[in-house]
Amino acid sequence: MVDKNYLKTLPTQTDAPYEYAFTELVQRFEYFLVNHGRATNQDLRGLIVQDNNETVAKKITAMMQGFHRQGTRLTSIQQIVETPFFVDSQLTSMVQMADLCSYAIRSYYENNEIDLFDRIYGRFDRTPQGLVGIHHFTDSNCTCKVCRKV
């Protein structure tokens, strides 16, 4: 979850929170594929499937092409193939499931609704160092479950 006020404090501020969030998603997915591939002795590849939103689809595609050429600010992109695959969420149950997870996260942060969030919290990726599949980008005074890494 990205707090828009948090973005204003960054030296490399972006005008669009979705750009920051998409970059984080790509980095975390790349790390997930690398880490789980190493743990299972497999060369894992992944594809990003996203709800079709014509407003941002071209921008996200261009961002991903740039990530494949130059990497992100933290990693090169080797395990994620192609650019995102855009689909109509009404036709794809897995995108609907991702929407439900997004709803649970947003409801937790905006309305302190914990029921759905608690149902998915245990599924976020973890390494021996701790929780890595979700991060709350906000000030350091936050005491939410994600920031406490419980």
pLDDT of residue 106: 92
Asked if pLDDT for residue 140 goes beyond 80, the answer is: no
One-letter amino acid at 147 equals C
Backbone torsion region of residue 82, taken as left when φ is above 0, otherwise alpha when ψ lies between -120 and 50, otherwise beta: left
Query: What is the reported pLDDT for 90?
Result: 86
With a pLDDT cut of 90, the percent of the chain lying above it is 58
Higher-confidence residue: 122 or 15? Answer: 122
| Residue 53 or 6, more confident | 53
pLDDT in tens, 93-128: 999 999 999 999 999 999 999 999 999 999 998 888
Whole-structure pTM value: 0.82
Which string of DSSP letters, residue by residue, matches 13-30?
--S-HHHHHHHHHHHHHH
Helix 54-70 vs helix 17-40: crossing angle, to nearest 10: 50
